[in-house]
A = this chain, B = another copy of it.
Amino acid sequence: VTHVFDAGLHLEPAADGVVRGSTHSQWANMVGPFGGMTAATMLRAVECRPDVHGDPLTLTVNFLAPIADGEFLISTRAVRTNRSNQHWIVELAQDGEVKTTATAVFGPRRDTWASPQETPPNVSAPEDIEPQGFPAPITWTTHYEMRFIEGAVPQPGSEPSESSTTTLWVRDQPARPLDFAALTAQCDIFYPRIYLRLGTAVPAGTISMTVYFHAGRDDLHAHGDDFVLATAHAQRFGGGYFDQSGQIWDRNGTLLASTHQLVYFKN
């Protein structure tokens, strides 16, 4: 049986450097698909290329317009391949209209000096925390098991929060071995920080999202299908925008990815 995440990611060759995919009802968000699935699909389109060089190092995805239900085409262009890395420009279009763009850098990881530098938040194990989903479940959220430590989704009657931080344990539901695509999607697991600060939902959407992949294949293999610890906060709200910086950790305190967003909001 195909895992629901793989079903969402499914791509077929369409032309030279172009793959065809389709939105999947199980990954529906309020408008269009879950942005994390779109980001993962942009990454996967590069991973599918026979001439791909190494593993993902960084991905920036720009959300131009909502993706309509149905088919889309993703074009991938290797702008330059160096010995140490490969630079991609990726565009997702529907009926000739570009809806999403991305740049990605792939490359091999080498054996160098290493230091974890930062440490994860000090939290209880996922087994000690009650599972808790989104209050009015949006389809895609049901495919994640979430255990919130801090900053769960505001409910009707929630007070504004002084903190902009959400921290949760999360994994695919059902569990699935972590790969770069799944890690990319998990980087977008956070609902908009403005909801937390205001204590209520307002119109908001990610404009641009960046992932720095710290995990190599060894880290992913060691991780298996365990929970990741995901935490994110905002640095400034105003003028209709806020930023978000997040980290994805494993249970042993290894930083798998750092991730950043610029988000639009109205209120």
B65 & A82 in contact (Cβ 8 Å cutoff): yes
A114 & B260 in contact (Cβ 8 Å cutoff): no
Give the residues in chain B near A198, CB-CB below 8 Å: 113
Q: Chain A, 242-255, contact with B by CB distance < 8 Å: what is the 0/1 string? A: 11010100000001
> Majority SS of interface residues in chain A?
strand
Give the residues in chain B near A233, CB-CB below 8 Å: 117-118
A259 to chain B, nearest CB (A): 9
* Residue A115 interfacial (CB < 8 Å): yes
Q: List the B residue with the shortest CB-CB distance to A63.
A: B87
* Residue A208 interfacial (CB < 8 Å): yes
Q: A87-B64, A262-B105 are in contact. Are A238 and B114 (CB under 8 A)?
A: yes
Tell me the A56-95 residues at the B interface (CB within 8 Å). Answer: 57-58, 60, 62, 64-65, 79-80, 82, 84-85, 87, 89, 91
B113 & A237 in contact (Cβ 8 Å cutoff): yes
Give the residues in chain B near A79, CB-CB below 8 Å: 64, 91, 98, 101
* Residue A210 interfacial (CB < 8 Å): yes
Q: List the B residue with the shortest CB-CB distance to A98.
A: B79
- Sorting the interface of chain A by its residue count into under 10, 10 to 19, 20 to 34 or 35 or more gives 35 or more
* Residue A235 interfacial (CB < 8 Å): yes
Bound-state Cα–Cα, A115 to B264, Å: 14
A110 to chain B, nearest CB (A): 4
Give the residues in chain B near A65, CB-CB below 8 Å: 80, 82
B207 & A57 in contact (Cβ 8 Å cutoff): yes
* Residue A157 interfacial (CB < 8 Å): no
A255 & B235 in contact (Cβ 8 Å cutoff): yes
B266 & A112 in contact (Cβ 8 Å cutoff): yes
A103 & B262 in contact (Cβ 8 Å cutoff): no
B239 & A112 in contact (Cβ 8 Å cutoff): yes
Give the residues in chain B near A197, CB-CB below 8 Å: 115, 117
Ordered by A's residue number, 8 sampled pairs between the chains whose C-beta atoms are within 8 Å are: A57-B207, A64-B80, A109-B238, A109-B240, A117-B237, A118-B236, A235-B247, A245-B245
